[in-house]
Amino acid sequence: MLIQAVVVVTAPASDQVAWLAKYDVPPDEIALGFDDAFRLAGRLVDEGQLSRDVLPSLQMIDEVFSEMSQDTDVDRWTSEAMATDVGWGRARQLAQEILTAEGGESSPLPGIRIVR
């Protein structure tokens, strides 16, 4: 689940926008999905399923998304912002570092089930 969330974060903005449209969810769903999965990171490290070395990068992604949520001057949670916003770019960079370290691949984006 965590690696799948990282795969979504690392995707190019155009792929993220298409993925969001496919499931009819807003951009903040990417951050929310990451946040849910990030809570499992410590346990995954303890169980040997995730390298301890990637924890700082995971924490930084969490911090980037938190900062973006607190910034009320700019709407950073739009499809347009996903392609231009520095925070989205930083999150993608960190996510790619995690995938590289874990030997994961960045595509295809995982399917999700939306409960409404």
pLDDT in tens, 17-26: 999 999 999 9
CB atoms within 10 A of CB 26: 11
- Confidence label for 50 from pLDDT (cuts 50, 70 and 90): very high
- Model pTM? 0.89
The encoded tokens of residue 3 equal 């690696």
Domain layout of the chain by residue ranges: 2-102
Q: In the prediction, which pLDDT does 106 show?
A: 67
Structure tokens at 29: 């769903």
Which pLDDT band, with edges at 50, 70 and 90, does 115 fall under?
low
| CA–CA separation, 53 and 41 (whole Å) | 11
Phi and psi at 81, nearest 5°, equal -65, -30
Contact 79, 59 (CB under 8 A): no
Q: How confident is the model at residue 116 (pLDDT cuts 50, 70, 90)?
A: low
